Structure 1
Amino acid sequence: MTARTEPAEAETEPPDATTRPALIRELLLVAGLFLVYKLGRQLATGHTGDAIHNAHRVWDLERTLHLPHENAVQSALLHGDTLVHIANTYYATVHFPATLAFLVWLYVKRPAHYIWARRVLAAVTTAALVLPFTFPLTPPRMLAGTGLEDTGRIFGPSVYGPPSSDHLSNQFAAMPSLHFGWALMVAVGLIVATRSRWRWLWLLHPLITLLVIVGTANHYWLDAIVAGAMLGIALAVIHPPRRTATTAGRDAGRRRVTPDTPVLVGAGR
């Protein structure tokens, strides 16, 4: 029986063997995704009457479905100026940077998962641009008779100006909520791409985002539900990369084998 030490080869393998896409091309693709998101919704303007009518329909449908009142979430935020200011800040500053940071991390650490996530986000964003043309929707903060306040305008910070002079966004494109859809994809992507026992905590991001978009009266519950459904369809069609035998072996090796563990060759012969 001969004893010798063999290195754990799985430890030397990169976390993701997929060739990383060209950086310049990816920068252009991601920048184009964000640009389409902004400009596409801006093009679907001029349907104010339809947007208000649809808002009443959504509000009534939510009551028929016995969904919680958006007022309950906003009332919780309005218990103190600090909490509502934090919610407005979260709405205004987290959406784009968090999604961009997510894509950058995947690009550097998990190239295969980056390609998958970028395709899913592109599919959801493209599909979401259709609804403002076919179903323009006034956000609850602009709908009379709901009892909801425009917390961004009252307490700040606000990302929107008066609709008549706001040439940077379409405020009548509340459905679906890409704030929620993108946040949910960030959580799903990080849960799929990592193996930490704490990775499920990433679900706090879409949960907080949901409470923020509803509590600040920027979206209805149904806006988030539709965004989640669209993401679910995209995930069903665009599958994440499979774990390779090397990756599985590396994970198992980290639990059971170290480079100094002796491997007995010929044992039992």
Structure 2
Amino acid sequence: MDKPPETRSVTGRAFAVLDTFSTKYRRQSLSSIARRAGLPLTTAHRLVHDLERESALVRGADGDYEIGRKIWDLGILASVHAELREVALPYMEDIYGLGNDAVQIAVLDGLRCLIVERIAGSRTMSVQSRPGARLPLHASGVGKVLLAYGNHDLHDAVLTSLERYTAQTITDPAKLSEQLKAVKSQGFAITDAELEEGARSVAVPVRGKGGKVIAALGVVVPSSHTDAQRMVPVLQVTSAALSRKLVEAGLGVASRLH
């Protein structure tokens, strides 16, 4: 029989805290963590503070906590995401070689998109899409692709909480809904300074078995690049080749990548 959380070692109690996070509980308040871990609030506070200091947890502006980059950095070593990165990397390098500032691939992660890999060099502007970052679906190119091809529950959840990041961020649900229809119809998404000033992104879907969208492939360039749409055909051809390779490698099922 498992020991009660309060009688476990410090390591055991730390894992009890981490175990409270799941696909249903991606963001939690301190009281929620304490309650679900079965720990006194003071004990949970101390453990959460220690985990936050080590980047295993991160505290949002609203005070709630979510899994931090340290867990991502460790988890990716044994995760199926490592396989996705390995298969996708050569294709991403080809796109980067054409002179793009950054190339990234992302998968759906709850109400956000998770950047699985990004290639960027010294010429690259400062952008938020580092590996392990979780970007808003409504304000990023890869995010809009994943949202456009998502189900109704995902749409409803995202459209009720459209946070503004820049003056260009779309926070009108009706306007975003129309844009998502266009993304799905055209097969690509383009954003301009919606997540970060001065950055434009272009993204296309990556498909798995049965044509189901399992990831998004995109580039990030300065907003001064007025011909960003020229990358759409390149991304689409590359995505088609990558999609075939992922299916051949047995990674063409969305549930394996999330």
- TM class, shorter-length: under 0.3
TM-score, scaled relative to structure 2: 0.24
Larger radius of gyration: 1
> Which protein has greater RCO, CA pairs closer than 8 Å, 6+ apart?
1
Please identify which structure carries the higher helix content: 1
